[in-house]
Amino acid sequence: MVIKSTVKSITLAFMFLLCLTPLWANETHGESSENHEKKEFNVNEMIMHHIKDAHEWHLWGPDHGGTSIYLPIILIDGGLKTFSSSHFYHGEHKSAVDHKTHEEVSYVAGVGPATGYAMYHEKIYKLENGGLSFEDGHVHGAVKPFDMSITKNVVSLFVGAILILLIMGSVARFYKKNGAVAPKGIAKFLEPIVVMVRDNIAKENIDHHKYHKFVPYLLTIFFFIFINNLLGMIPFFPGGANLTGNITVTMVLAIFTLLITVFSGNKNYWKHIFATPGVPVALLPIMIPIEVVGILTKPFALMIRLFANMSAGHIIILALISIIFINQNAAWGALSVPMALFISVLELLVAFLQAFLFALLSALFIGAAVEEAHH
Amino acid sequence: MELILPDMGLLIWTSIVFVLLLFILTKFIWKPILSSVNEREKNISDSLALAEKTKAEMKELQAQNESLLKEARAERDKIVKEAHELAAKMVDDAKTNAKSESAKIIASAHQAIEMEKAAAMSELKSHVAALSIEIAEKIVKTELSSDDKQKALASKLAEDINLN
């Protein structure tokens, strides 16, 4: 048993190292570069690069010249324009001087079908007069075409959705084939979770005559977050994208909860917002704005909670692994790997907990919206 | 800053995928799963209720059986007792009957004996009388030679016969 768990830890540690091989390779690459200038390891940049969206999916090797999957770029800019992101990543390197800080900033201009566009920090801009101008570290004055690209997060989104469909589909098939029997296999594992969402999340927070209607939504949101959280913890393709730690994704989920809350709100719910019982009429001008803001703050908190928790998890693990690269010594792995392993295990719990919390709080808000008057 | 700014492209993709997922999962996956789970839960609770009911019924049936058995036993006891009583009564009746019959027989026997005795007595008396008359005739024939002697003898003889 001890040997088994040791093997497991070593495998996990290896997996972490594997995920960071590109970084390490980058270091050696830097060292062996022509000018022999030792490129300093920038933890902040590395972490931000990992938790942000990208137009490529880096598999291994150095940043430039390593192996990547180049994802399609879809731009809506006077018509639909689609091409591979390799036209940026293997594009023309350009540099400009920042107007304020007077530092040299480098960006890439697209080649081939991407001509006329440039990419700076994974954002696509339309070139003006053949270049970009910068002010205070930001692109100044350039038009951003509407970017509908299949980015790393979008691919991760597809993978997550397909995974959910496959897993839950096999569970559904089991019941379709066998009818209402005792579950076996994957159904045995997932049924308690489904029942937990139905009983502990939906039934407990929503009026028991109305909760049936909301169970599918809560199940979908729970499994969507749970599976994508777990997928984000896998350090290599097709995992590792920080999807549930992306504010856009959490915002969409929070908006769905908001829409469902607002549209299923009954008379009693709106009465509590616009004419809170027991509040003097004179206070209503103050109370109504507070209540209206309250409608929005609830999903806003959902959005921030999931985003912050998942991003923080990724940041901590990356930061711990970075200890090795900051010190430029593999021996630091003895400290950083166990710590990263510990946080990873904690993240498994967080992955479940955040999915549970999101669904639970959604159920709570919906429950408050459909509650009947008790007085 | 970029980290907390929403990206419109990703927003659209996420919305599309989430809506599709919600639709497909609800229609083809959650419904069959939930209905199966609900059905099974209902089956289990129904079965449990049925088992409980059957148990109660069994108990009642058992109690009923017990009471039936008890009744049967009581009935049997009653019948046996009655039979005993009847038998005893019959024996008693027979005894009393026999007694009265025997008493009757004895009584009639007594009566017959008495009657026979009386008949025998009267016959004897008549015989004795006839005999006495005969004797008296003979005596008279012999003795009645004189009047006095006749009279004394006659009375003396009569007295003797009466005493007998």
Interface pTM (ipTM) of the complex?
0.85
Please state the rounded mean pLDDT for residues A341-348: 94
Which residues in chain A (253-272) have CB-CB distances under 8 A to chain B? Answer: 253, 256
Q: Are residues A191 and A103 in the same domain?
A: no
Residue A195 burial class via C-beta count within 10 angstroms: exposed 0-12, middle 13-18, buried 19 and up? middle
Mean of pLDDT values over A43-52: 86
Q: What is the pLDDT of residues B87-112, one digit of tens each?
A: 999 999 989 888 888 888 888 888 88
Closest CB from A219, A246, A311 relative to B10: A246
Q: Over 60: is that where the pLDDT of A313 sits?
A: yes
Residues A169 and A141 in one domain: no
**pLDDT range class, residue A186, cuts 50, 70, 90:** confident
- Dmax of chain A from CA atoms? 80
Q: Based on the domain organization, do A249 and A268 belong to the same domain? A: yes
Domain boundaries, chain B: 8-121
Residue A173 has pLDDT above 70, yes or no: yes
Mean pLDDT of A59-73: 83
- A113 and A227 part of one domain: no
How far apart are the CA of A216 and the nearest CA of chain B, in angstroms?
A: 6
**Interface residue A219 vs chain B (CB under 8 A):** yes
**Residue A214 domain boundaries:** 152-370
Start-end of H helices in chain A: 2-31, 43-51, 86-89, 152-178, 185-196, 204-205, 215-233, 247-264, 267-274, 284-327, 333-370
CB atoms within 10 A of CB A347: 24
Q: Residue A14 has what pLDDT?
A: 52
A23, pLDDT greater than 60: no
Tokens 């896998």 correspond to A234
Q: Has residue A296 got a pLDDT over 80? A: yes
User: For B41-47, what is the mean pLDDT?
Assistant: 92
In sequence order, which residues have a C-beta less than 8 Å from that of residue A325 and are 6 or more positions away? A20, A23, A24, A27, A41, A43, A46
Q: Is residue A100 in a domain?
A: yes
DSSP-derived letter for residue A91 is S
Does the pLDDT at position A207 exceed 80? yes
Specify the pLDDT at position B118. Answer: 85
- Fill in the amino acid letter for A79: G
Helix axes of B31-143 and A185-196: crossing angle, nearest 10 degrees: 90
**Which has the closest alpha carbon to A256: A294, A224, A288?**
A224
* Domain-located, residue A132: yes
Rounded to 10°, the helix A2-31/A284-327 angle is 80
Q: Of A123, A147, A171, at which residue does a domain stop?
A: A147
Q: Average the pLDDT over A127-142 and give the result.
A: 81
Q: Is B57 on the interface with A (CB under 8 A)?
A: no
In chain A, residues with a C-beta closer than 8 Å to the C-beta of B30 are 168, 194, 215-216, 219-220
A220/B37 Cβ within 8 A: no
Considering the domain architecture, whether residues A224 and A290 belong to the same structural domain is answered as yes
The answer to whether B14 contacts A215, with C-beta atoms less than 8 Å apart, is no
Neighbours of A151 (CB within 10 A): 28
Q: Does A1 touch chain B (CB under 8 A)?
A: no
Per residue in A219-276, pLDDT (tens digit) is 999 999 999 999 999 988 888 888 999 999 999 999 999 999 999 988 888 888 888 8
Given a cut of 80, whether residue A80 has pLDDT beyond it is yes
pLDDT band, residue B1 (cuts 50/70/90): low
Q: A80 contacts in B (CB within 8 Å)?
A: none
Tell me which of A93, A115, A147 is where a domain ends.
A147
Q: Is A216 on the interface with B (CB under 8 A)?
A: yes
pLDDT of residue A21: 43
pTM, full prediction: 0.75
Q: Place A8 in a pLDDT band, splitting at 50, 70 and 90.
A: low
Assess whether A277 and A343 both reside in one domain.
yes
Note whether A116 and A207 are same-domain residues.
no
pLDDT attached to residue A7:
53
- Count up the domains in chain A and report the number: 2
Q: What's A68's DSSP letter?
A: E
Examine the domain organization and report whether A133 and A157 are in the same domain. Answer: no
Q: Looking at the predicted structure, is the pLDDT value of residue A95 above 50?
A: yes
Our measurement of the distance from residue A14's CA atom to the centroid of its chain's CA atoms, rounded to an integer in Å, reads 24
Would the pLDDT of A4 be above 60? no
